[in-house]
Structure 1
Amino acid sequence: MNLKKWMWTTITVQNDERGLLFRDGSYIKPLMPGTYRLSPFSKERVTILGVTKPFAVPGKDVRLFLHDSLLLEELDIVQVADHEYVLHYEDGNFAGLLTAGTYAFWNVLRKHEYIRVDTRAPELPDTIEASILPKLSAYYQVFEVASHETGALFYNNRMIRELAPGKYYFWKGPVSVQVQTVDLRQQQMDMTGQEIMTEDKVTLRLNFVCQYRIVDPLRVLQIKSFQEQLYIQLQLILREYVGSLKLDDLLKMKQEIAAYVLTRLNGKSEEYGVQFMSAGLKDIVLPGDIKDILNTVLLAEKKAQANLITRREEIASTRSLLNTAKLMDENQTLFRLKELEFLEKICDKIGSISLTGGGNLLEQLNSLLGEKTPGKGA
């Protein structure tokens, strides 16, 4: 009798465990907490599972146990389709994310909750708390729209809606998600060294700049190579304007180029979805030979202006002398004062003067000066 007892196999199932009885590898029934004895000669085996862990039997598919109604009373069976994710919570805390497949969890000691999401609607629902997002990083993608931007959301290359500044989360699933952003700040377009020919066949280079702001982002996204097309439009307008003027006219009217170009660009605003704020011609670069010619012309003009000013000064001086002479003829006192002024100037340059005889003072002084002039006889 003691020998028979010794040969029995004793199995103990704890309160936080459940046993699964197998015979010849096939599942028979569950074993509740307690002690069980199995004959070593029988083909029965017991697998012990902890109820605090997910239900999983090594080497067995969970679906092999779904026919047992007694076992199912203590299990939560969760089936996840290919287009779904299931967020699993235990006692209110996030436990993990379930992908496509069949899962079973013991419901004896812990309370389980499941949030099912359809990845065919890619955007993460607001019910998902931000605190668990780091644990889901392998299953979603994030897009950011800066404060100075607007975004456009596309599902499978089809635009869904416009996005305001913020951060957006989307499941990695069957739907392809793209977000394109557009900068709404004032931007600048520079045209440097653009070669353009004038009406009189002079090739020059222009440096031009304009500022603009996007007002219709969705329209901009519909234009392929938006920046390039905007640049070409500016180029064509400049060519049209410069090509209709001769070089001399262009240099005289260069201040009007900016106003003309800005008006023409704003005529295209609705077409491109932008508002042009300002435009300006930075400089005109002339060919070397044309520059030399213009410098020569400028120098000649300045010399002519200088000669004209000199002649005007000479004429004014002569008129002043003529007016003085007329006054002296009409007024003897003024004539005497002029004599004294003339004598004062002579005295500043001569040490002493001796005068003899009578006669006009100026005549005697002129005679003295004539005698002292070098190269004349006494």
Structure 2
Amino acid sequence: MLKTITIQTDERGLLFRRGSYERMLAPGTYRFLSWSGYTVETLSIVKPFEVPGKELALFAHDERLLRELDVIHVADHEVALHYEDGKFASLLKAGSHAFWNVLKKHEFVRIDIREPELPASLNPAVLPKLMLYYQTFEVANHESGVLFYNHVMQRELAPGKYYFWKGPVSVTVKTVDLRQQQIDMTGQEMMTEDKVTLRLNFVCQYQIANPLRALSFKSFEEQLYIQLQLHLREYVGTMKLDDLLRMKQEIATFVLSRLNAKSEEYGVRFLSAGVKDIILPGDIKDILNTVLLAEKKAQANTITRREETASTRSLLNTAKLMDENETLFRLKELEFLEKICEKIGTISLTGGGNLLEQLNSLLGERNAGKA
């Protein structure tokens, strides 16, 4: 009894006898005795060459078959980009791969993934098809990036987007913000030289100038904070409360000079610093308010005495002038009488004589009566 097998133009047959491969069958019709032990595996030549349960090496002795195949062996540290007729088809991982070259032209680009960064020559249009095989890191415009392979620093990265293979090398990118930043120290308790405990609110602005140096510190911002705290304690601890309050603006100058002395060590440029608030304990605040009130009262008394002295001196000068000048004395009398007249409703005079003399006489009598 015969068994007939037909192989189409876009197919190839693989002839096995009792499980062992013998040769490739070209398109056509083949007949085999059913008891002969022959079997045929039919493969499409538009698909990769794959035989379930069989290794590619089992077919290596068939030169005719190999002439119709493009075979590539990809090492463990490699990937291969597979192109069909100039178009990207797939990414090939470690192993042996074979493709029929009858209808299509195949090209392969080997990439050593021990060098993790994707080659710059890779067409960006291919990237969406490789998303499962690479990872991306972005460095913003205001940042600087530092590249690490297996936790070993490689180089500094400028702003941009970077692509790396997911392979045997661990890739890490650490970013550093290059914008102006600020340290806020709030409610920091400190003791002055005269043992007064106060709370200080302080602010400091800085900018990272050397990202590699800044990344060499663990808990970089915390260490900057500690340095700021130490310098503030150094200054406040050597000042008495009165001096500290009077010279408050000099705290920033002192702290900034101390920080700038270590700017290269930390890779930082310190821009400015300043005291926001000095918060005193309640009892100290009451004492200072009492002292301030007493000072203001003393100033007010001094001003009052000064004005009284000036007024007395003015009266004395006026009296001397009137004593030396009779006309000025008479003018003063008239001025004085004018003021009296403004406050008196009616004045009755009897007898003859000059009006001014009678008024003077009247005033003289009143003054004598009071005496």
TM-score range, shorter chain: over 0.9
Question: Which residue pairs with 2:73 in the alignment?
Answer: 79
Quote the Cα distance in structure 2 between the aligned partners of 1:52 and 1:367: 144
Q: Secondary structure, in 3 states, of the residue corresponding to 2:232? A: helix
**Contact 2:349/2:358, CA 8 A, preserved across alignment:** no
Shift of 1:41: 2.6
* Pairing of 1:91-102 with structure 2 (within 5 A): 91-102=85-96
* Pairing of 1:1-378 with structure 2 (within 5 A): 7-355=1-349, 361-368=359-366
Shift of 1:364: 2.2
**Structure 1 residues 107-116 or 61-70, which shifts more?**
61-70
Q: Secondary structure, in 3 states, of the residue corresponding to 1:329? A: helix
Amino acid at match of 1:274: V
**Contact 2:214/2:220, CA 8 A, preserved across alignment:** yes
Structure 1: gaps of 5 or more residues: 1-6
Quote the Cα distance in structure 2 between the aligned partners of 1:248 and 1:346: 56
From the superposition, tell whether residues 356 and 18 of structure 1 become closer, same or farther in structure 2 (CA, over 3 Å): same
Quote the Cα distance in structure 1 between the aligned partners of 2:277 and 2:360: 66
Amino acid at match of 2:14: L
**Contact 1:152/1:162, CA 8 A, preserved across alignment:** yes
TM-score, with structure 1 as normaliser: 0.93
Q: Secondary structure, in 3 states, of the residue corresponding to 1:57? A: coil
**Contact 1:339/1:361, CA 8 A, preserved across alignment:** no
Quote the Cα distance in structure 1 between the aligned partners of 2:368 and 2:281: 62
Amino acid at match of 2:268: V
How many equivalent pairs are there? 367
Shift of 1:226: 0.7
Amino acid at match of 1:12: T
Shift of 1:58: 2.2
Q: Secondary structure, in 3 states, of the residue corresponding to 2:132? A: coil
From the superposition, tell whether residues 61 and 281 of structure 1 become closer, same or farther in structure 2 (CA, over 3 Å): same
Structure 2: gaps of 5 or more residues: none
Quote the Cα distance in structure 2 between the aligned partners of 1:335 and 1:254: 59
Amino acid at match of 1:123: E
Quote the Cα distance in structure 2 between the aligned partners of 1:294 and 1:225: 41
**Contact 1:355/1:364, CA 8 A, preserved across alignment:** no
Q: Secondary structure, in 3 states, of the residue corresponding to 1:223? A: coil
% of aligned pairs identical?
A: 72
Amino acid at match of 1:347: C
**Contact 1:88/1:94, CA 8 A, preserved across alignment:** yes
Q: Report Cα offsets for 1:261-282 as digits up to 9, x if no partner.
A: 1111111101111010111111
**Contact 1:21/1:31, CA 8 A, preserved across alignment:** yes
**Contact 2:83/2:108, CA 8 A, preserved across alignment:** yes
Quote the Cα distance in structure 1 between the aligned partners of 2:60 and 2:154: 42
